Amino acid sequence: MLPLLKKNSVKAKALEVPAWHTNFRNYALLPDTKLVRTSFFVNGLLAFAAIGLLLAGVYQEYELSILRKQNVELQQQIEKNRPLSDQAQKLFKNFSAEEKKTNELNAFVKGQKLSVSDFIIHLSSSKPASIVFVSLEYNDKGANIRGYAQGSSEQTTGAASSYEKQLKEDKELSSVYKSISMTNVSRDAQAGRLSFDIVLSFTAGRSK
């Protein structure tokens, strides 16, 4: 009895082992059972990138069109304001030239030892009684004294010549004016006077 029971238990264990057979399935030919394929994501990303590039290009073209429009408007405004700008530049050049002359004259006058008021006072205090001033002109070239000497022919000639010499020997005047000369001498016999102009120039040999 015992050997029979043992033999039956071996057969039972043999029946529990699954049967083995060769796998002949071709996975390349089998249908894809994925719910969402990988190519879907790849194509979606490419489409999204293409749409983004398209939108960026459209926006850039829009910005360029705005800039072109603004550039045209600015050019039109420039052309409209060009005559006024040219006129303003011309006026500015004229103003600069006049300002330069004024500054040079002011700098020159400030550098002189005699101011205009001091110059007039000095001439008046040193003028001989025989000399009469008619006018005094002061400019950037120097000064011009217009006057006359009254008396006989000899007296007026001597008085005018003496006054010219006096001005040339004046230290204060000679330190400022490099040339002092008498011009436009004319005699009025009926009035008994000798009219003259005395030109004082800042530059040597420069006279009216």
Q: Residue 197 maps to which CATH number?
A: 3.30.1360
Find out whether 177 and 140 touch, Cβ atoms under 8 Å: no
Find out whether 200 and 178 touch, Cβ atoms under 8 Å: no
The pLDDT, as a whole number, for residue 208 is 38
The pLDDT, as a whole number, for residue 127 is 84
**Residue 125 and residue 167 in one domain:** yes
**Predicted confidence (pLDDT) per residue in 149-159, tens digit:** 887 778 888 88
Mean pLDDT, rounded, for 32-36: 54
**Residue 60 and residue 92 in one domain:** yes
Boundary (domain end) residue, out of 92, 111, 130: 111
Residue with the larger pLDDT of the pair 25 and 63:
63
Boundary (domain end) residue, out of 58, 83, 111: 111
The pLDDT, as a whole number, for residue 53 is 87
**Residue 151 and residue 74 in one domain:** no
Domain assignment present for 34: no
Which domain, by its residues, includes 67? Answer: 40-111
Instruction: Compute how many other C-beta atoms are within 10 angstroms of the C-beta atom of residue 199.
Output: 21
Domain assignment present for 167: yes
Tokens (6 digits) for 158:
């001597």
Cβ-based burial of 148 (10 A; exposed 0-12, middle 13-18, buried ≥19)? buried
Domain assignment present for 208: no
Residue with the larger pLDDT of the pair 177 and 109:
177
> Can you give the pTM of this predicted structure?
0.41
**Predicted confidence (pLDDT) per residue in 71-88, tens digit:** 888 888 888 888 888 888
Asked if residue 103 has pLDDT above 80, the reply is no
Asked if residue 17 has pLDDT above 70, the reply is no
Q: State the residue for tokens 């005559």.
A: 83
Instruction: Compute how many other C-beta atoms are within 10 angstroms of the C-beta atom of residue 197.
Output: 19
**Residue 170 and residue 136 in one domain:** yes
Asked if residue 25 has pLDDT above 50, the reply is yes
- Structural domain tally of the chain? 2
**Predicted confidence (pLDDT) per residue in 106-116, tens digit:** 666 555 545 67
Domain assignment present for 194: yes
The pLDDT, as a whole number, for residue 29 is 64
Which of 196, 198, 181, 191 minimizes the C-alpha distance to 150?
191
Asked if residue 16 has pLDDT above 70, the reply is no
Asked if residue 181 has pLDDT above 70, the reply is yes
**Residue 106 and residue 179 in one domain:** no
Asked if residue 1 has pLDDT above 50, the reply is no
Boundary (domain end) residue, out of 56, 80, 111: 111
Which of 191, 78, 207 minimizes the C-alpha distance to 141?
207
